[in-house]
Amino acid sequence: MRHLPKTVSAAVAVAAGVLTVTAVSTGAAGAATPAPTGLFAPSDLVLTVGQGDDAATATVQRAVTLSCAPKATGTHPASRAACAELFAVEARFDKLVDQAPKVACTKEWNPVVVSAAGVWQGKHVAWTTTFGNPCSMKAALADGALLNF
């Protein structure tokens, strides 16, 4: 009879251990696999305008965020129009810069860098361009919403 209490207590301990391991592993599996948040690929960008020769060393003067999926949001002042432009050019930012603007600017060298970095429809994007001065930047970006903020 002395072996019965040890056997019962051992069985209870094993059962409790199995239940604990099952509960922990179920919770861990649920935590390791995040549930999908939607059907849209992420499209989140940070757009900046800075003073300097290149984006890596420029002093940022303005920056905005833009998210285009599932709807246009962010700190960009014209997020809907900006997202519409991105969709129209398939996020090829160079297509939003007028290569032959109709405005005459001085030739002073006061460089302005415009950049975009983030994710567009699930793919990493990084783009930057340098204008000779603020006048040439405004002339080249005159009609667009995305890079005018």
Q: What is the pLDDT of residues 107-116, one digit of tens each?
A: 999 999 999 9
Q: How many CB atoms lie within 10 A of CB 15?
A: 10
Q: What is the pTM of this model?
A: 0.70
pLDDT of 22 higher than 90: no
Half-sphere exposure (CA, 13 Å, Cβ side) for 137?
23
Domains of the chain: 44-141 (3.30.350.10)
Spatial distance between the Cα atoms of 73 and 67, rounded to a whole number of angstroms: 5
Is residue 127 left, alpha or beta, with left meaning phi > 0 and alpha meaning psi from -120 to 50? beta
pLDDT of 146 higher than 90: yes
Name the residue with higher pLDDT: 2 or 46. 46
